[in-house]
Amino acid sequence: MARTIQSLERAAAMLRLLAGGERRLGLSDIASSLGLAKGTAHGILRTLQQEGFVEQDEASGRYQLGAELLRLGNSYLDVHELRARALVWTDDLARSSGESVYLGVLHQQGVLIVHHVFRPDDSRQVLEVGAMQPLHSTALGKVLSAYDPVAHSEAAEAAREAFTPRTVTSMAGFESVLDLTRARGWGSDVEETWEGVASIAAPIHNRRRMPVGAVGVTGAVERVCKEGELRSDLVAAVRDCARAVSRDLGASRF
Amino acid sequence: MTDTHSTGPFIAAIDQGTTSSRCIVFDRDGRIVSVDQKEHEQIFPKPGWVEHNATEIWENVQEVVAGAISKAKITSADVKAIGITNQRETTLLWDKNTGEPVHNAIVWQDTRTDALCRELGRNVGQDRFRRETGLPLASYFAGPKIRWLLDNVEGLRERAEAGEILFGTMDSWVIWNLTGGPNGGVHVTDVTNASRTLLMNLHNLDWDERILSSMEIPAAVLPEIRSSAEVYGTTADGVLAGVPVASALGDQQAALFGQTCFSEGEAKSTYGTGTFLLMNTGDKPVNSYNGLLTTVGYRIGDQKPVYALEGSIAVTGSLVQWMRDQMGLINSAAEIETLASSVEDNGGAYFVPAFSGLFAPYWRDDARGVIAGLTRYVTKAHIARAVLEATAWQTREIVDAMTKDSGVELTALKVDGGMTSNNLLMQTLSDVLDAPVVRPMVAETTCLGAAYAAGLAVGFWPDTDALRANWRRAAEWTPRMDADVRDREYKNWLKAVQRTMGWIEDEE
Ligand SMILES: Nc1ncnc2c1ncn2[C@@H]1O[C@H](COP(=O)(O)OP(=O)(O)OP(=O)(O)O)[C@@H](O)[C@H]1O
Ligand SMILES: [Mg+2]
């Protein structure tokens, strides 16, 4: 068995102790229940307190479980909530960019499209909510892989299929794409998934700065790019939209 | 806010709603520049009673206007006009000299005038004033609420007859205060709001003296009825001092306008606290024989009025809120979709939310809510599904009534409102209607409609064709349900509806 870290085991034991039976305990009760010296117990409690996992009652000096533990359990963001919060901003992005807008989250080994706004011309389009896109080649997928470690490991383990001659399939190549994505704060896909199609995407963060999804525009390569480069006004509009949604989810300014 | 907006000028719209007040600033393309919103208290003094504090509402309105202007980083000089839209029918009486409300506002959902309405129906019944007003006698509308206040607030009738008291729905209250209140505020309402009082004659768009005397309401309290798009006055002070107040429309009519339903036969359905489907019937009021309301759609300046048929559903989004707040089955309204999506169907359960009776097409005060078809098999997820289906089937019923009354077959339904972010609901709606459901790119059509009307009044936009050009399809759902499934489910739904009726027996 691998070596374990004693102070983490002790911290876990403390949390269990505070979770069961009597909810508020004094330092000496905690120390004696766990067979620890008071000084050792105090050091661990103080660390847990700093992390918000334990709170100390001011009047009695007794310890109890902290609010952060509750938040940990409830931090999952409902995808339908995400769509509802994004609605106004994604509509506006479609309007200002003239392209279709997609909102995606990680689901199993790919990107699940949870919201789709049509391109604002009068053409017939089909709602793609519920469709899956690949992680390694799409702008949404690259953004998720760059910011969400779970998405990253899914993409790293998957067989990265070459959809077009431009798809990046090697691990090293993929990693450098992700580095670039993180460095500039947005991701792109120029004919790496579909011939003739380009997209730009940016990350959405929740109030604890965790990546919860990605939003982007997709359109014909000749509209999304200008003189061989992705249009900077589109990049700015996509990033604005991602920031506005993040702000609505309570993320602080960044 | 995005930084890609033009530099103005702009139109500001105030939406004084049932649960909150909002202010949205729009640019010339009809794009949202900034939004500010604040909720107000829902006061429930007794079962079935719902009130708002009008002073709190006016303070919130001032706050959200200031908020939206500051978020947009603009000044009054950049704003060409203000448009007003509001929760309809909610009734307020206030002192003309002090500006003090004499009582809380009585909200449209309030049922305290049930018995009064039966009494007013006398031997004729619910349809006593339908020919003149287009409405059944129901506690939903403003007239009986005025009468209740006059009868129940000490000394009020005398003060009203002496001309010291003003009546208004929320449009009148906001406009009167914006334009100076006790210091020269204008006391007006627009045709759409007036058409919800049970006191206005639909044919000449004036207060109906015979109804006023039957309801014992002194004409002195009533505002002047004006069109929906004209300059009523200018803002007296605050961040928008000097800006013309140039439109007023009830929220549902504003959504019709915002959806640019300017041609006869065009319709929209708004999914908020309740759901209201309005169809433009052109320059003629169409009588309903199938439980719909005849109402004014809008009137632009001195042009002819445009009428509408309306199907009103009292409880749709508020049923989702009930699942969250009273049942605790979900944490947010959006989560109803997650719960409902965890099962394939309703498991045999049907939920008819007749919480305060049934509105269109039944108008039954004696109905109460029912969950039918329960077995041991049914889970909370099936109930969640039944909740969403309730909104869809209720829409189907008013669409059927609309087809019968108007003779116009619905080719597609234009939708808006908070519930349209629910993808499963929109798909279900398309399935049960057997027609495409289309969402426009600005979900805030209520504010947009008020902005459009104000913009037309001051020449910011040239005509309704220019507005129509702004309309964009954001999403479309198409039917996927087999006809035999649809028929079977509709039959079950109608059976469940029958089981709600006659629950309340005359208490007296
Ligand atoms: N994703 C969703 N699924 C189902 N219902 C929803 C969802 N999001 C919001 N709702 C419901 O929609 C309603 C809010 O929509 P909206 O803001 O359009 O209401 P409203 O009636 O216009 O409010 P007001 O009367 O204050 O103007 C609430 O009743 C809420 O329960
Ligand atoms: Mg509203």
With 60 as the cut, is the pLDDT of residue B507 above it?
no
Range of the domain at B78: 10-252
Confidence of residue B1 (pLDDT cuts 50, 70, 90): very low
Tell me if the domain spanning A6-65 has CATH number 1.10.10.10: yes
pLDDT tens digits along A45-61: 999 998 888 988 888 88
Any bridge partners for residue B229, and if so which? B247, B300
With 90 as the cut, is the pLDDT of residue A197 above it?
yes
Q: What is the CATH number of the domain that holds B219?
A: 3.30.420.40
Task: Tell whether ligand 1 has an atom less than 6 A from the beta carbon of residue B168.
Answer: no
Q: What is the mean pLDDT of residues B54-64?
A: 96
DSSP, collapsed to helix, strand or coil, labels residue B434 as coil
Q: What is the mean pLDDT of residues B501-505?
A: 86
Confidence of residue B101 (pLDDT cuts 50, 70, 90): very high
Task: Tell whether ligand 1 has an atom less than 6 A from the beta carbon of residue B87.
Answer: yes
Confidence of residue B6 (pLDDT cuts 50, 70, 90): low
Q: What is the mean pLDDT of residues A56-85?
A: 79
Closest atom of ligand 1 to CA, residue A81: 1
Give the residue, out of B19, B253, B312, with the most ligand 1 atoms within 8 A of its beta carbon, to mutate for a pocket test. B19
With 80 as the cut, is the pLDDT of residue B234 above it?
yes
Contact A84 B472 (CB under 8 A): no
pLDDT tens digits along B363-419: 887 888 999 999 999 999 999 999 999 999 999 999 999 999 888 888 889 999 999
Rounded Cα–Cα distance for residues B181 and B235 (Å): 10
Any bridge partners for residue A230, and if so which? A225
Contact B226, B188 (CB under 8 A): yes
Q: Which of A78, A94, A237 sits opposite B441 (nearest CB)?
A: A94
Give distance in angstroms: CA of B418 to centre of ligand 1.
Answer: 4
Alpha carbon B155 to chain centroid, angstroms: 32
pLDDT at B172: 97
CATH 3.30.450.40 residue ranges for chain A: 73-249
Rounded Cα–Cα distance for residues B182 and B236 (Å): 11
Alpha carbon B253 to chain centroid, angstroms: 8
Q: Which residue has the higher pLDDT, B410 or B21?
A: B21
SS (H, E, C) B87-114: CCCCEEEEECCCCCECCCEECCCCCCCH
Contact B267, B279 (CB under 8 A): yes
Contact A92 B32 (CB under 8 A): yes
**Two tokens at B332?**
């947010």
Nearest-Cα distance to chain B for A167, in Å, is 30
Give distance in angstroms: CA of A47 to centre of ligand 2.
Answer: 48
Contact A241 B422 (CB under 8 A): no
Task: Tell whether ligand 1 has an atom less than 6 A from the beta carbon of residue B269.
Answer: no
Rounded Cα–Cα distance for residues B182 and B64 (Å): 22
CATH 1.10.10.10 residue ranges for chain A: 6-65
Which amino acid is present at B465?
A: D
Give the residue, out of A79, A80, A129, with the most ligand 1 atoms within 8 A of its beta carbon, to mutate for a pocket test. A80
Confidence of residue B30 (pLDDT cuts 50, 70, 90): confident
pLDDT at A29: 87
pLDDT at A253: 44
**Is B103 a domain residue?**
yes
H or E, element range at A211: strand A211-220
- Least confident stretch, A14-23, B9-18, B452-461: A14-23
pLDDT at A19: 81
With 60 as the cut, is the pLDDT of residue B430 above it?
yes
pLDDT at B82: 97
Strands (E), A33-141: 54-56, 63-65, 100-107, 110-117, 132-134
Contact B421 A87 (CB under 8 A): yes
Q: Which residue of chain A comes nearest to B476, CA vs CA? A: A127
Q: Give the number of beta-carbon pairs within 8 Å between A and B.
A: 79
Count CB-CB contacts under 10 A for residue A70. Answer: 11
Count CB-CB contacts under 10 A for residue A51. Answer: 11
With 60 as the cut, is the pLDDT of residue B8 above it?
yes
**Is B299 a domain residue?**
no
Rounded Cα–Cα distance for residues B473 and B420 (Å): 13
Q: Which residue of chain B comes nearest to A74, CA vs CA? A: B331
**Is B288 a domain residue?**
no
pLDDT at B118: 87
Nearest-Cα distance to chain A for B107, in Å, is 27
pLDDT tens digits along A144-188: 999 988 889 899 888 889 999 999 999 999 999 999 999 999 999
With 80 as the cut, is the pLDDT of residue A250 above it?
no
With 80 as the cut, is the pLDDT of residue B66 above it?
yes
Count CB-CB contacts under 10 A for residue A177. Answer: 20
- C-alpha closest to that of B464 among B226, B244, B261: B261
* B36 contact A CB<8A: no
Rounded Cα–Cα distance for residues B26 and B436 (Å): 29
The whole-model pTM stands at 0.85
Q: What is the mean pLDDT of residues A5-33?
A: 85
Nearest CA to ligand 1 atom 27: B17
Give distance in angstroms: CA of B498 to centre of ligand 2.
Answer: 30
Rounded Cα–Cα distance for residues B200 and B212 (Å): 9
Which 8-state DSSP code applies to residue A8? Answer: H
**Is B241 a domain residue?**
yes
Average pLDDT over chain B reads 92
Rounded Cα–Cα distance for residues A134 and A159 (Å): 11
Alpha carbon A75 to chain centroid, angstroms: 11
**Two tokens at B308?**
């509408």
Task: Tell whether ligand 1 has an atom less than 6 A from the beta carbon of residue A158.
Answer: no
- C-alpha closest to that of A217 among A235, A243, A204: A235
Count CB-CB contacts under 10 A for residue A208. Answer: 14
pLDDT tens digits along B245-290: 999 999 999 999 999 999 888 899 999 989 999 999 999 899 889 9
| Residues within 5 A (CB) of ion ligand 2 | B 17, 251, 272
Query: Chain B, 466-495: which have a CB under 8 Å from a chain A CB?
Result: 472-477
**Is B450 a domain residue?**
no
* B412 contact A CB<8A: no
Rounded Cα–Cα distance for residues B457 and B450 (Å): 11
Q: Which ligand gives the minimal distance to the CA of B322?
A: 1
With 70 as the cut, is the pLDDT of residue A76 above it?
no
Superfamily of domain A73-249: GAF domain (3.30.450.40)
Contact B475 A117 (CB under 8 A): yes
* B384 contact A CB<8A: no
| Contact residues for A8 (Cβ-Cβ < 8 A; gap 6+) | none
How many domains are contained in chain B? 1
Give distance in angstroms: CA of B254 to centre of ligand 2.
Answer: 10
Contact B8, B78 (CB under 8 A): yes
- Percent share of chain B, pLDDT over 70: 98
| Contact residues for A130 (Cβ-Cβ < 8 A; gap 6+) | A112, A113
Nearest-Cα distance to chain A for B32, in Å, is 7
Which 8-state DSSP code applies to residue B49? Answer: -
**Is B364 a domain residue?**
no
With 90 as the cut, is the pLDDT of residue B429 above it?
yes
Closest atom of ligand 1 to CA, residue B446: 22
Residue with tokens 């009130």: B51
Q: Which of A84, A88, A127 sits opposite B32 (nearest CB)?
A: A88
Q: Enumerate the residues of chain B whose CB falls inside 8 A of the CB of residue A236.
A: 3-4
DSSP, collapsed to helix, strand or coil, labels residue B365 as coil
Q: What is the mean pLDDT of residues B323-347?
A: 92
Task: Tell whether ligand 1 has an atom less than 6 A from the beta carbon of residue B102.
Answer: no
Q: Enumerate the residues of chain A whose CB falls inside 8 A of the CB of residue B436.
A: none
Q: Is B125 exposed, middle or buried (0-12, 13-18, 19+ CB in 10 A)?
A: exposed
Mutate to test the interface with B, among A75, A95, A129 (most CBs of B within 10 A): A95
pLDDT at A2: 66
Q: Please tell me whether B22 is known to bind a ligand.
A: yes
Count CB-CB contacts under 10 A for residue A179. Answer: 11
Rounded Cα–Cα distance for residues B218 and B221 (Å): 6
String of b and e for B453-465 (b: at least 16 CB within 10 Å)? Answer: bbbbbbebbeebe
With 70 as the cut, is the pLDDT of residue B506 above it?
no
Q: Is B409 exposed, middle or buried (0-12, 13-18, 19+ CB in 10 A)?
A: exposed
Which amino acid is present at B101?
A: P
Q: Enumerate the residues of chain B whose CB falls inside 8 A of the CB of residue A91.
A: 441-443, 474
Give the residue, out of B320, B321, B416, with the most ligand 1 atoms within 8 A of its beta carbon, to mutate for a pocket test. B320
With 50 as the cut, is the pLDDT of residue B508 above it?
no
Give distance in angstroms: CA of B133 to centre of ligand 2.
Answer: 24
pLDDT at A254: 40
ipTM, two decimals, is 0.82
